Amino acid sequence: MKETKLGMTVKKDDKFGEWYSEVIVNSEMLEYYDISGCYILRPWTMEIWELMKEFFEAEIKKMKVQPYYFPLFITEDVLQKEDHIEGFAPEVAWVTKSGKSELEAPIAVRPTSETAIYPYFSKWIRSHRNLPWKCNQWCNIVRWEFSSPTPFIRSREFLWQEGHTAFATKEEADEEVLHILELYRRIYEEFLAVPVFKGRKSEMEKFAGGLYTTSVEAFVPNTGRGIQGATSHCLGQNFAKMFDICFEDEKGKRSLVWQNSWAYTTRSIGVMVMTHGDDKGLVLPPKVAPIQVIVIPVPFRDADTVAIKGACDSTVYTLNQAGIRAELDARDNYSPGWKYSHWEMKGVPLRIEIGPRDLANMQVRIVRRDNGAKADIPSADLVEHVRVLLDGIQDTLFETAKQKRDSCIEVVNTWDEFVEALNDKKLILAPWCDEEEVEKDVKARTKGDLGAAKTLCTPFDQPDLSEGTVCFASGKPAKTWSFWGRSY
C-alpha cells in the first residue's frame, strides 16, 4: 500500500482527461489492461455495480421480469438478417478461429442481443396467455469501437443488463418504456446523484431497427459533452416482423407482438465519477458507497490505544447494526493523516476520527468528504447523526451537480448563437424542426477536432414553444425544443 500514489497530480479543471484517469486508478476502481479499451473492474467498482443491481433487480422482479442467459455468440446469418445490424456492424468482433482451425463461418461476439433472442421469442410465444413476455439478462457486451476509448464511458467490453419484452398491445409497450426509463432516472438521480433529462431520441439517434428510443441524458460540464445514460426502446413490430413473433388472441386471430428492449451499463459509474470527483479524488454518493463511514483511530503519544481501539470497534459495530456500511481502518503502519488522504481519494462519504479527547468527551469527530465540514458528535447520538449526514451528502451532491448542469444550459434561437454556445461547451436547448436532414446538416457543419454536434434528446418536459418559432438550423417552423451538443 505504501506504493499507492496518494493525492492527485492534476486538477479536475485543468486537465480533465488526465484527472479522470488518475482518479479512477488511484481510487482503486479500475486498472488499465493490456488490450486498449478493455479494463479491469476492481472491488471498489464492482460493489457500486452490485448496489445498483440490487435496486434494479428488485424493481424488475416486481414487474415479473424473468432472468435469462443467452449465448455470447451470434451467427453471421442471424445477426445480418435485420436492418439494425447496420448500426453495429463496424463494431462487431468476429471469432474466426478455434485453436488452429478456421471456423466454417465467422461468429459474432454480441454487441447487443436482440438477434440472439428474438428467434426464440418466435418459438416460445404462441398465445395471448404467454403475454406479456419479459426477460432480462446481466452480461458482458463487446463493441470494438475504434474511436478513442474512455474507461467506463466508452469501452470495448462493458457490463450491462438488457431487458427484452413483448406485449399484445402498443399501449402496454409504451407504458413499460416509460416505467423502465423512470427506474433509470432513479438510478442516476437517487443513487448516483447525477441529474438527467428524460426524453426521446431523434430519428437519427434512435436504436437502429426500433420504433422510438427514450433515454436519460447526463451532461459533463468539464468537457461540455452530453452523455447518454441509459436507453429504453420501443421496438414496435419491426423485429416481430423480421423474426415472425406472433400470438393468437382470444378469438384465434394471429397478430404481431409489440416489443421493447432496455439497457443500462457500467458507463453510469464513469458519469458518476466525472460528476462528483474533485481535486482530492473520488466523491461517492452514500447510496452507492461500498463504505459509507470509515472509522480511524487517532492515538496520540500517551493515549490509551486500547481504549481508543475499543471505541472505534464499538462505533463500527453500532453503525453496522443500524444498517450503515462502516469499516475500521486499524492498520498500524500508516499515520492517521495518510489514512485521511487514502479514504478521501476513495471518496468515502464520512470519516470518523476517534482520539483521546473524543474518548474523554464521549464524542466522535465526523468529517464530510464532500465539503470537508467537521463536527463533534456525542457518541450517544451517533446513528441518528450519521443518517442525517449521509442523507444530507446524497442531497447536496445531487443539488450541486444539478446547479452546475443547469448553469450550462443555454437557450439559443439562431445558428450564430448555437455555434457560440457550442464553442462555450454549453448544453444547448434549441427550437428544432425535427427533420433528419437538418440534423445531418448540423452534424456536417459542426465537424471538427472535438466532434460534431448532434441532438441529445427532445426532453419530455418541454418549455412553451410560441407560435412562429423557427428552427435554429433550418429556419423552418420549429416542432420541439431539443437538447443539442457534443457527446461521448
Q: Which is nearer to a copy of itself, 174 or 327 (CB)?
A: 327
- For 258, the 3-state DSSP assignment is strand
Q: Count other Cβ atoms within 10 Å, centred on residue 300.
A: 11
Among 6, 7, 17, 90, which residue interacts with a copy of itself (rule: CB under 8 A)? Answer: 90
Site string for a copy of itself, 330-349 (x = CB under 8 A): -x-x----------------
| Cβ 130 to a copy of itself shortest distance, Å | 7
Taking the CA atoms of residue 191, residue 230, residue 343 and residue 390 in that order, the dihedral angle to the nearest 10 degrees is -10
By CB under 8 A, is residue 142 in contact with a copy of itself?
A: yes
Answer yes or no whether residue 95 interacts with a copy of itself by CB under 8 A. Answer: yes
Q: Strand 480-487 relative to strand 225-236: parallel, antiparallel, unpaired? A: parallel
Q: Which of 212, 147, 184 is nearest to 268 (CA)?
A: 184
Shortest approach of a copy of itself to residue 307 CB, angstroms? Answer: 25
Q: Is position 129 an interface residue for a copy of itself (rule: CB under 8 A)?
A: yes
127 makes contact with a copy of itself (CB under 8 A)? yes
Interaction of residue 78 with a copy of itself, rule CB under 8 A: yes
Q: Reduce the DSSP state of residue 369 to 3 states and report it.
A: coil
**Binding track over 429-468 against a copy of itself, x by CB under 8 A:** ----------------------------------------
Q: What is the DSSP letter of 252?
A: S
- DSSP codes of every residue in 11-29: -TTT-HHHHHHHHHHHTTS
- For 170, the grid coordinates are 402498443
Binder among 40, 330, 360, 362 for a copy of itself (CB under 8 A) = 40
d(CA 418, CA 114): 37
Note whether 293 binds a copy of itself by CB under 8 A: no
* One residue of 6, 7, 11, 67 binding a copy of itself per CB under 8 A: 67
CB of 74 to a copy of itself, least distance (A): 8
How many residues lie near a copy of itself (CB under 8 A)?
A: 62
Strand 293-297 versus strand 350-354 pairing type:
parallel
Nearer to a copy of itself, 16 or 334 (CB): 334
33 sits near a copy of itself (criterion: CB under 8 A): yes
Residues 379/363, Cβ–Cβ less than 8 Å: yes
Q: How far is the CB of 442 from a copy of itself (least distance, A)?
A: 26
Binds a copy of itself (CB under 8 A): choice among 7, 13, 54, 123: 123
Backbone angles phi, psi at 314, to 5 degrees: -75, -30
* 320 binds a copy of itself, rule: CB under 8 A: no
Does residue 252 come out as left (phi exceeding 0), alpha (psi in the -120 to 50 range) or beta?
Answer: left
Subset of residues 388 to 427 that bind a copy of itself, contact rule: CB under 8 A: none
Distance in Å, CB of 258 to a copy of itself, minimum: 20
**Of the candidate residues 7, 11, 96, 423, the single one contacting a copy of itself (CB under 8 A):** 96
31 binds a copy of itself (CB under 8 A): yes
Q: Is 92 among the residues that bind a copy of itself (CB under 8 A)?
A: yes
Q: Interacting stretch for a copy of itself, rule CB under 8 A, among 43-51, 208-216, 368-376, 413-421?
A: 43-51
- CA 325-326-331 angle, to 5 degrees, is 140
Question: Is residue 139 a contact point for a copy of itself (CB under 8 A)?
Answer: yes
Evaluate whether 313 touches 320 at the Cβ level (below 8 Å): no
* Residue 10 half-sphere exposure toward CB, CA atoms < 13 A: 14
Backbone angles phi, psi at 130, to 5 degrees: -80, -10
Residue 118 or 398 with smaller CB distance to a copy of itself: 118
Would you call 103 exposed, middle or buried from its count of C-beta atoms within 10 A (0-12, 13-18, 19+)? Answer: exposed
63 in contact with a copy of itself (CB under 8 A)? no
34 in contact with a copy of itself (CB under 8 A): yes
Report the run of H or E that residue 10 belongs to, with start and end.
Answer: none
Quote the CA–CA distance of 284 and 45 in Å, as a whole number: 11
CA distance 52 to 186: 10
Verify binding: residue 58, a copy of itself, rule CB under 8 A. no
Binding-site member from 7, 13, 66, 436 for a copy of itself (CB under 8 A): 66
Residue 131 in contact with a copy of itself, rule: CB under 8 A:
no
DSSP class of 131: -
Q: How far is the CB of 8 from a copy of itself (least distance, A)?
A: 20
81 Cβ partners below 8 Å, 6+ apart? 115, 242
H helical segments located in 373-466: 382-406, 415-423, 436-445
* Closest distance of CB 369 from a copy of itself, Å: 22
Contact between 159 and a copy of itself by CB under 8 A: the answer reads yes
Cα 151 to the center of its chain, rounded Å: 12
> Backbone phi, then psi, for 394, in 5-degree steps?
-55, -50
Min CB(393)–a copy of itself separation in Å: 24
Cell of 310: 475499543
Q: By C-beta, is 11 or 97 nearer to a copy of itself?
A: 97
Which residues bind to a copy of itself, rule: CB under 8 A?
1-3, 31, 33-35, 38-43, 45-47, 50, 66-75, 78, 89-100, 106-107, 109, 116, 119-120, 123, 126-127, 129-130, 135, 139-140, 142, 144, 146, 156-157, 159, 331, 333
